[in-house]
Amino acid sequence: MSNRYPFALLACSLVLAAGSSLPVRAMTEDTETEHVVVSAQEPENRTLKGTVVDENNEALIGAVVKIKGTTNVVLCDLDGKFTITDVPPGAVLAVSYISYEPQEIPVNGRTTFKIKMQPAAKNFQEVVVTAMGILRKEKSLTYATQQIKSDEFMKVQEVNIANSLQGKVAGITITPSAGGAGGASKIQLRGAKSILGSSSPLIVVDGVPMSNETRGQISDSKSFTETGATEGADPLSMINPDDIESINVLKGSNAAALYGSRAANGVIMITTKKGKAGKLSVSYTGNVTMDMPLLTPKIQNRYGATVTPQGYLGEANGWGGLISDSPTSAKAMATEKFPYERDIHLRNYANNDVSDFYRTGVTTNNSVSLSGGTEKVQSYFSAANTFANGIVQTNNYIRNSFSFRQTYKLWERLTVNANINYTQTRTKNRIGGGTVGNPMYHLYTAPRNIDMQYYRDNYAIPESYWMSELQTHYVENPVAEGYIRQSERVKLSGPMMNYPYMDARQNNPYWLLNQNQSTHRDDRVYGGFQGNLDIWGGISLQARYNFDHTKYREEGCRYATTFAPASMYDYGTYNKARTSTTEQYIDIILNFNRTFKKDW
């Protein structure tokens, strides 16, 4: 018996040395990798397959699998599976995934793999983007900062990314726009800094400080109460949320010191996505949201406007009898502006005119992005469209955005980034604030026995006439040399607002919605170039050039017979404005960053 065992071992060794195709199965327990050795000599250009899972055996979607030392890289699919071709003899698989320890696994004749990844060490130090785009460990900072990753605000996508920050950043207050689709949201860090001025923080996108002025912003008490000024969009509303990698909020004065006085209210730093090494990856994001008014004023439904015994409608601010006792028709007396009687439509029952005024707002977001590249060159491109119908009729918003980013790693120490972004927005009939000229104000203050359903469908009289204000002109003096100053009213005609009260501070809300149209257009191009050179021992040099070009156009009108706070627009108004701004930034920073640690 003792002589047979050495002979058997020797025979087995000879068979394997001769290249037998006898399969031998084995299991490596530490990585749970199943493999099959088919021969002692590996064939060239093989195909490997496998699965990458986490510590709970759940698939790791998007895990990176590459052949070490080459550009042969693949990503795991939705089931955590991968297939990699053209594997040379003696290859080593390098597997990596965010927040997991990377692994290097020699192929050694294997053809199938099941790789279990282990979570990264608990003492991982998170790196955040600080002023001027410098990376620092969060614990090393001496001022308040907070970072939000993209997955935290992409669950329910907002048209304006600012609205997604509410409840996610300590000390921040977000006030969404009340002006309908395309309006600006107000951002405050640690309270308001000014009563009538701006309290908004500086917006910085990939190192570009973007102009954060809100066009049409109310700046005095008269505008706040009377003019019904409309506010334009802010920079955050022009950014595609799907392009954002992370948002870092710098709150303290020390954090924003490098940006000067423009950052007195804090800084919101946005880092956009870059291309990733691997095969071309295409992703699509789409969602639909609906908006409805949460709260509306509580309006009494018991009393209506006064109707005189002669059948004439009383003053707009006067209180009459019960709505149930109101007649269904009345007359408006002749005035100097309107020298004829007009029929007034009333009702003797209450109706929810506020609910009829609003509609369900619908917003659609669609975004597609492409990412890919090698270890040396990565590319990222995205295109997105947003369309929103506001809760107020005739208000809508369209945004189209395009983004392109290219990253080059030259040699081992030099990295170059280039990016360009283009955004185009168009907003129609954004609702203003204040009182006069704001259709919501006129809706809320209308007497309750006015038949608003009738005036909704008949907000205009196609052909009518009115008298202008006194017009001053000079005529030749018939009895003496010179001219005589005269004032008289001029008869005007055309479409006229149809409403019971044709006097100052009174307007049909549906006339304002349908006749007084406005369009705001923004075109914004921004981007830049950045180079980072790792010199030696924690010393690095960063150089950047950034630009931001904005073109803004506005066009609007107010039809004749629309009432202003003091008088009527006899002839109507038309306005057209166009502005263009270009800002450029250049900075060069020599940076030293090194951690010294001593064991005591």
Are 442 and 494 in a shared domain?
yes
Question: Would you say 386 and 424 are in contact if contact means Cβ atoms under 8 Å apart?
Answer: no
Is 135 within 8 Å of 145 (Cβ atoms)? no
Specify the pLDDT at position 591: 82
Short-list 288, 289, 332, 294, CA closest to 310: 332
CB 587 within 8 A of CB 131: no
Structural domain includes residue 496: yes
| Residues 31 and 156 reside in one and the same domain | no
DSSP 8-state code for residue 100 = B
In a shared domain, residues 140 and 220: yes
Judgement on whether residues 149 and 91 belong to the same structural domain of the protein: no
Residue 501: inside a domain: yes
- Rounded to an integer, what distance in angstroms lies between the CA atom of residue 267 and that of residue 546? 17
Which of 476, 498, 515 corresponds to the end of one domain? 515
Same-domain check for residues 417 and 533: yes
Bridge-based pairing of strands 172-175 and 145-149 is unpaired
What is the structure's pLDDT at 341?
A: 93
Domain boundary among 515, 534, 569: 515
Q: Count other Cβ atoms within 10 Å, centred on residue 156.
A: 9
340 lies in the same domain as 403: no
User: In this predicted structure, what is the pLDDT of residue 207?
Assistant: 73
Domain boundary among 515, 547, 574: 515
Give one DSSP letter per residue of 309-367, joined into a string: TTSBB--TT---SBGGG--SEEEEPP-SSS-S-EEEEB-SS---HHHHHB--EEEEEEE
Residues 392 and 420 in one domain: yes
Q: Is residue 454 part of a domain?
A: yes
The answer to pTM > 0.75 is no
- Close Cβ partners of 596 (under 8 Å, ≥ 6 residues apart): none
Q: Looking at the domain assignment, is residue 450 inside a domain? A: yes
Task: Decide if 351 contacts 452 (C-beta within 8 A).
Answer: yes
- Rounded Cα–Cα distance for residues 288 and 543 (Å): 41
What range defines the domain where residue 99 resides?
A: 22-116
Domain for residue 6, yes or no?
no
Facing residues of 270 across strands?
205, 247
For residue 85, the domain's CATH number is: 2.60.40.1120
pLDDT at 21 (0 to 100): 34
Residue pair 402/421 in contact by the 8 Å Cβ criterion:
yes
So what's the pLDDT on residue 121? 63
With respect to residue 575, please indicate whether it lies within any of the assigned structural domains: yes
CB atoms near residue 33 (< 10 Å)? 19
Q: Which pLDDT score is estimated for 476?
A: 86
Q: What is the pLDDT of residue 486?
A: 86
Nearest Cα to Cα of residue 161 among 126, 198, 187: 187
End-to-end Cα separation, the chain, in angstroms? 63
Q: Are residues 154 and 288 in the same domain?
A: yes
Could you tell me if 150 and 268 lie in one domain?
yes
Are 416 and 558 found together in one domain? yes
- Domain annotation covers residue 580: yes
Strand order in the sheet with 396-410: 278-291, 361-373, 377-389, 396-410, 414-428, 518-536, 539-558, 573-592
422 and 442 in a single domain? The answer is no
CA 150 to chain CA centroid, nearest Å: 12
Residues 58 and 141 in one domain: no
Q: Is 3 exposed, middle or buried (0-12, 13-18, 19+ CB in 10 A)?
A: exposed
Contact (CB, 8 A) for 547 and 527: yes
The three-class DSSP label of residue 230 is: coil
Splitting the chain (600 residues) into consecutive groups of 10 residues, what average pLDDT does each group show? 36 33 36 40 73 90 89 89 88 89 88 88 55 56 65 67 72 68 69 64 78 55 52 71 82 66 77 84 89 87 91 83 92 92 94 92 92 90 93 92 92 89 91 80 91 96 93 85 88 95 91 92 91 87 90 92 90 92 87 65
- The position carrying tokens 């150089």 is 543
Residue 8 lies in a domain: no
Contacts of 82 (CB under 8 A, 6+ apart): 49, 50, 51, 52, 63, 65, 74, 75, 76
Report pLDDT for 23.
36
CATH of the domain at 364: 2.170.130.10
Q: How many domains does the chain have?
A: 3
